[in-house]
Chains A and B, each alone.
Chain A
Amino acid sequence: MRRLALCTGLLAACNTNTPDDDYHAFLSRADRARPDAGVDAAHPTGHFSDISGNWFLRADLTAGLDLGLRVRMCRYMESPTEADWTRCDPLTEPGRLMVRLWLEKQRIGVDAPLVETSSTVDEGGHFVLTADPLRLPADLVGSDIVALVVMYAHITRAGSWCGDADGEVTQPPGLEIDGSTFAATRDPDQTAKHFELPFACAADDGVPDPGGDAGPGDDATPPDAGPPPGPDGAVPRPASPDLTDVPSVAADVSGHWLVTARLANGFALQLWLSLVYAGGPEGGTLDGAMHKTQDAPGTPAAATFTTTVTPDGRFELWLPTFAMQTNLGRLEADILLSAVTASADAFCGEGAGQVRRPLAMSLEGATFAAQRFVPGTAAPPANEVASACAAP
Chain B
Amino acid sequence: MARRLGRDSGLFVRTQGGALAALVCAASVCPTPATAAPMHVARMDGLRGDPVDTGPFAFWWNPAALARPGRALGLHGLFAMRAASYDRDAALNDVAPDEAAANAGLATIDTAGVIPALGFRQGFADVGPFDLGFGLGFFVPFAGVADWARHPDAPAEHPGAYDGPQRWATIHSRLVFLAGSVGFGAAHRASGVSLGIAPTLYYGELATTRARNVDRSDDLVDVTGELKEGRIVFEADDIRVGFNVGLRWDASPDLGFALTWHQVPEFVMDGRAKVAYGTADPFSIGAELAFPLPDLFRAGASIGLPGGWVLRPFLEFARWSVMERQVAVSKGEGQPLIEIERDFDDVWGFRLRCDTPRWRGWGATFGGGFETAATPTSTHEPGLAEGESVEAMLGLDYTFEAGVRVSLSTTLQTFFARDVSDSIQKPTTNGRYTDDRVFSTLDVEVPF
- Which listed residue (A16, A23, A30, A267) contacts B11, Cβ 8 A? A16
Q: Judging by beta carbons under 8 Å apart, are A11 and B163 in contact?
A: no
Q: Are A19 and B173 in contact (CB under 8 A)?
A: yes
Chain A 1-42 residues near chain B, CB threshold 8 A = 2, 5-6, 8-20, 22-23, 26-27, 29-34
> Interface stretch among B2-10, B400-408, B409-417?
B2-10
Give the chain B neighbours of A361 by CB distance below 8 A. 214-215
- CB of B233 within 8 A of chain A? yes
Interchain CA distance A139-B285 in the complex, whole Å: 30
Which one of A15, A20, A383 contacts B334 once the chains associate, using CB atoms below 8 Å?
Answer: A383
B6 to chain A, nearest CB (A): 10
18 A-B pairs in the complex with CB atoms less than 8 angstroms apart: A6-B205, A8-B178, A10-B30, A11-B114, A13-B11, A13-B28, A14-B10, A16-B11, A18-B172, A19-B173, A29-B162, A32-B276, A178-B284, A178-B285, A216-B281, A267-B215, A330-B281, A359-B280
**In the assembled complex, A81 has its CB within 8 A of some CB on chain B:** no
Contact of B138 with A329 in the complex, beta carbons under 8 Å: no
Given A330-B281, A382-B335, 4 more pairs with CB closer than 8 A: A10-B30, A10-B140, A265-B214, A383-B336
A contact residues around B12 at 8 Å (CB): 16
Q: Does B43 contact A (CB under 8 A)?
A: no
**Contact between A384 and B29, CB atoms less than 8 A apart:** no
**CB interface residues, B 315-360, toward A, < 8 Å:** 329, 332-336
Q: Is the CB of A9 within 8 A of B233?
A: no
Residues of B within 8 A of A (CB): 7-12, 28-31, 114-116, 138, 140, 147, 159-160, 162-163, 171-174, 176, 178, 203, 205, 207-209, 214-216, 222-224, 226-228, 231-233, 235, 237, 274, 276-285, 329, 332-336
Interface 9-residue window, one of A115-123, A204-212, A217-225, A342-350: A217-225
Query: Which of B9, B163, B216, B335 interacts with A22 by CB under 8 Å?
Result: B163
A13 vs B10: C-alpha distance when bound (angstroms): 5
Give the B-binding residues of A (Cβ under 8 A): 2, 5-6, 8-20, 22-23, 26-27, 29-34, 166, 178-179, 216-217, 220, 222, 224, 265-268, 270, 293, 327-330, 357-361, 378-379, 381-384
Are the C-beta atoms of A270 and B209 separated by less than 8 Å? no
Find out whether the CB atom of B226 lies under 8 angstroms from the CB atom of A27: no
**Which residue of chain B lies nearest to A328 when distances are taken between CB atoms in the complex?**
B280
The answer to whether A18 and B174 touch across the interface, beta carbons within 8 angstroms, is yes
Measured in the bound complex, the distance between the Cα atoms of B216 and A13 in whole Å is 35
Contact A10 B276, beta carbon cutoff 8 Å: no
Q: Report yes or no: A382 in contact with B214, Cβ–Cβ below 8 A.
A: no
Residues of B within 8 A of A166 (CB): 284
Shortest Cβ gap from A227 to chain B (Å): 13
Q: Are B333 and A10 in contact (CB under 8 A)?
A: no
10 closest A-B pairs (Cβ-Cβ)?
A381-B334, A16-B10, A358-B280, A329-B281, A23-B233, A265-B215, A19-B209, A29-B159, A383-B334, A13-B10
Are A328 and B207 within 8 A (Cβ)? no
A34 to B164, CA, bound (A): 23
**Cβ-defined contact, A11 with B29, below 8 A:** yes
- B228-A359 in contact (CB<8A): yes
Q: How far is the CB of B206 from chain A (nearest CB, A)?
A: 9
Q: Are A23 and B209 neighbours in the complex by a CB distance under 8 Å?
A: yes
User: Quick one: given A23-B209, A27-B282, are A268 and B159 in contact (CB under 8 Å)?
Assistant: no
**Looking at the complex, which one of B163, B207, B281 makes contact with A217 (CB distance below 8 Å)?**
B281
Measured CB to CB, the closest approach of chain A to B125, in angstroms, equals 34
Provide the bound-state CA to CA distance between A329 and B284, in Å.
Answer: 12
B136 to chain A, nearest CB (A): 15
Distance, CA A34 to CA B279, complexed state (A) = 11
Nearest A residue to B232, CB-CB: A23
Are B222 and A359 in contact, CB atoms less than 8 angstroms apart?
Answer: yes
A33 vs B329: C-alpha distance when bound (angstroms): 26
Contact A13 B29 (CB under 8 A): yes
Chain B residue at smallest Cβ distance from A293: B333
Q: Is the CB of A19 within 8 A of B335?
A: no
Q: Are A268 and B174 in contact (CB under 8 A)?
A: no
- Is there contact, CB below 8 Å, between A9 and B215? no
Among the interface residues A15, A26, A328, A384, which one has the most CB atoms of the partner chain B within 10 A?
A26
Contacting pair B10 A220 (CB below 8 A): no
Q: Nearest residue in A to B13 (C-beta to C-beta)?
A: A16
CB–CB B162/A19 < 8 A:
no
CB-CB under 8 A from A18, the residues of chain B are 172, 174, 207
Instruction: Tell me the bound Cα distance from A15 to B336 in angstroms.
Output: 31
Which residue on chain A has the smallest CB distance to residue B173?
A: A19
Cα of A270 to Cα of B335 in the assembled complex, Å: 10
* A30 & B10 in contact (Cβ 8 Å cutoff): no
Q: Quick one: closest A residue to B12, CB to CB?
A: A16
The docked-state distance in angstroms from the alpha carbon of A379 to that of B114 is 46
User: Is the CB–CB distance between B274 and A20 below 8 Å?
Assistant: yes
Given A5-B178, A329-B281, A361-B214, residue A10 in contact with residue B171 (CB < 8 A): no
Say which residue of B226, B335, B336 sits within 8 Å of A360 (CB atoms). Answer: B226
Assess the A381–B178 pair: CB atoms within 8 A.
Answer: no
Bound complex: CA A15 to CA B174 (Å): 15
- Residue picked from A22, A23, A31, A328, most chain B C-beta under 10 Å: A23
B residues less than 8 Å from A6 (CB atoms)? 176, 178, 205
Q: Which of chain A's residues have a CB closer than 8 A to the CB of B208?
A: 19
Cβ contacts under 8 Å, B224 to chain A: 222, 224, 360
Question: In angstroms, how far is the closest chain A Cβ from the Cβ of B398?
Answer: 25
* Cα–Cα distance between A190 and B329 once the two chains are bound (Å): 46
Check A266/B11 contact, CB under 8 A, given A6-B178, A19-B207, A19-B233.
Answer: no
**A14:B281 contact, CB within 8 angstroms:** no
Shortest beta-carbon distance from A103 to chain B in Å: 27
Provided the pairs A327-B283, A327-B285 are in contact, do residues A27 and B214 lie with their beta carbons within 8 angstroms? Answer: no
Given known A-B contacts A12-B30, A360-B223, A381-B334, A17 and B278 have beta carbons under 8 A apart:
no
Contact of A12 among B11, B222, B284 (CB under 8 A): B11
Q: Identify the closest chain B residue to A219 (Cβ).
A: B281
Q: Which chain B residues lie closer than 8 Å to A328 at the CB level?
A: 277, 280-281, 283
Contact check, B172 vs A19: say whether CB atoms are below 8 A apart. Answer: yes
Q: Chain B's nearest CB lies how many Å from the CB of A364?
A: 13
Q: Is the CB of A17 within 8 A of B214?
A: no
CB-CB nearest in chain A for B235: A20
In the complex, which residue of chain B has the Cβ closest to the Cβ of A18?
B207
- Residues from chain B with a CB closer than 8 A to the CB of A5 are 178, 203, 205
Best-surrounded residue of B9, B138, B278 (most CB of chain A within 10 A): B278
What CA separation (Å) do A357 and B223 show in the bound complex? Answer: 12
In the bound complex, CA of A269 to CA of B208 (Å): 25
Contact B281 A9 (CB under 8 A): no
